[in-house]
Amino acid sequence: MTFRTIRRALLSVSDKTGLVELARSLIGFGVELISTGGTRKALADAGLSVRDVSEVTGFPEILDGRVKTLHPRVHAGILAVRDNPKHQAVLKEHEIAPIDLVVCNLYPFEATLAKPGSTHEDIVENIDVGGPSMVRAAAKNYHDVAIVTDPKQYDDVVFEMRTNKGSLSLATREKLAAAAFTRTAAYDQAIAAYMAKRIGNGAEFPATLSLSFQKKQALRYGENPHQKAAFYVEPGLIYACVASAEVLHGKELSYNNILDLDSALNLVRELHEPAAVCIKHNNPCGAATEASLAEAFARAYEGDPQSAFGGILGFNREVDEATATRITEPNRFIECIIAPGYSQAAYQLLTTRPTWKKNVRILKSGKLTGVPPHSLGLRQVDGGLLVQSRDVGTDDFKEAKVVTQRNPTPNEMADLRFAWLVAKHVKSNAIVLAKGGMVVGVGAGQMSRVDSVHLAVRKAGERVKGSVLASDAFFPFRDNIDEAARAGVKAIVQPGGSMRDQDSIDACNEHGLAMLFTGVRHFRH
């Protein structure tokens, strides 16, 4: 039979969003409700008629609620095949009524794990046992039983029951079952990952790595129009990032938009002063900090106006009217903007000015709280997955060593810190030129480091004079120093560690440059 009429439902949920409204709708279809613990209390408090599961099982909840639905009268009612005469005879013999609908979302294990201050005991107590058992049982028997595991599914279920006189189709039951198995798989994976890390004595990389991501949206295409693509996100996100950002306005995001938005947000979140960054093809072509966000944007855009055209903007403060006014000046085209928020006046400007309202995508990230809490970076190769700790956190310049005869001036030191942080977000080989808290030239992704120096100097033009230079890795030859000095660079920061470090130091001393070694490399491939 394609349709099954829902006559009896078991409700047991941790997340009670929309619970009462769903229950009222079910009662309206003549469905008998059975429930447990806090769910039953919520329904009874709302004045709804509901039977306690202990009335069905003839056995009370025990062990502080750990055992309540793990009973043959519950699971037989779920698992019995309606068209199997033997199954029906067993139900009749033991006076067990079938259960047609199970509504169950699980103990909040992931949320407890992510909550600051949660103890191991708190986390273990939030490992659900009875819930996944009911969910899997109902999903296995989807030919006869519907399983609902997410409040987001309630409206569709109610709509179909209303359309089909209290019944759900086989197609819907199968779709719900697939979602249920996906949920229990992700739940088990989260528990397994937690336990693996715990028994591994804090080891960063478990012997087996299981991953679970939820599809957020289909994308128009991938990096190129002939490639198909979709966007998957981590479940239970609790921090500001591109995956959790709210799209406030504009056309559908593309694969490349998402990559660039991620890069923009990860850079500006590391800057403490009001900051703006412009990303193009996954590299910052401009970045700046200033006393006001509007001025930070103006200087970031001015870093390379030609490259900034059609770029992605990122901000670490709420975009105000003054900043929005600067952004929407004539002859500017921006693909996307991401920021913690927007003032009403700024949002009005960005979404009503001609051409802007048609083209720009506006995303709200929420408050940036520093480095994301997760620590693993993932990258796929054919047949495998590369996993590493993420390159996060600002390097402590207290450990940096001045290796030249001249020390950087205070202004040069401030620019060196800024340029060094930006260089961490530029594709290797990375060279960043900065002056006055503003990027003036970037050399990215070149096969030789000196080519990146040439490119950054060309981008900077006359602004290179008096600037500082940051290199994401050491200089293998002094030709990089000689080129920078000829252009007018006054100070350099680099990791050090080359066999020819002394050649670079000697070159700096010959040219009167100051140079710092950080001891930290920041390749970004």
Catalytic residue among 16, 71, 87, 140: 140
| Mean pLDDT split into 10-residue runs, the chain, 525 residues | 85 90 91 86 86 70 58 77 80 80 87 81 83 89 92 93 91 92 86 77 68 86 94 83 92 93 94 95 95 97 93 96 94 93 95 82 89 74 89 78 96 95 93 96 93 94 96 92 95 94 95 95 89
Q: What is the pLDDT of residue 200?
A: 65
Q: What is the pLDDT of residue 63?
A: 56
* CA gap 284, 308 in Å, rounded: 9
Q: What is the pLDDT of residue 1?
A: 58
Q: What is the pLDDT of residue 62?
A: 58
Residue 155's identity, in one-letter code, is: D
Q: What is the pLDDT of residue 58?
A: 57
Same-fold call for 237-364 versus 398-517? yes
Fold of 3-199: Rossmann fold (3.40.50)
- List CB contacts of 506: < 8 A, sequence separation 6 or more: 478
* CA gap 453, 459 in Å, rounded: 10
Contact 26, 18 (CB under 8 A): no
The domain spans of the chain are 3-199, 237-364, 398-517
Strand order in the sheet with 146-148: 51-52, 32-35, 8-13, 101-105, 146-148
Is 140 catalytic? The answer is: yes
* CA gap 162, 168 in Å, rounded: 9
Residues 403-433: tens digit of each pLDDT: 999 999 999 999 999 999 999 999 999 999 9
Contact 312, 296 (CB under 8 A): no
CA dihedral of 198, 203, 209, 214, whole degrees rounded to 10: 70
- List CB contacts of 307: < 8 A, sequence separation 6 or more: 278, 280, 285, 286
Catalytic residue among 16, 197, 249, 281: 281
Which tokens in the block code for residue 186? Answer: 């992700």
Q: What are phi and psi of 280, to 5 degrees?
A: -135, 125
CATH of domain 398-517: 3.40.140.20
Contact 3, 145 (CB under 8 A): no
CA dihedral of 416, 420, 422, 424, whole degrees rounded to 10: 180
Domain spanning 237-364: CATH superfamily: AICAR transformylase, duplication domain (3.40.140.20)
**Rg of the chain taking only CA atoms, in angstroms:** 30
Which tokens in the block code for residue 33? Answer: 């409700």
Q: What are phi and psi of 463, to 5 degrees?
A: -70, -10
Residues 63-101: tens digit of each pLDDT: 555 555 566 777 778 888 888 888 778 777 777 788 899
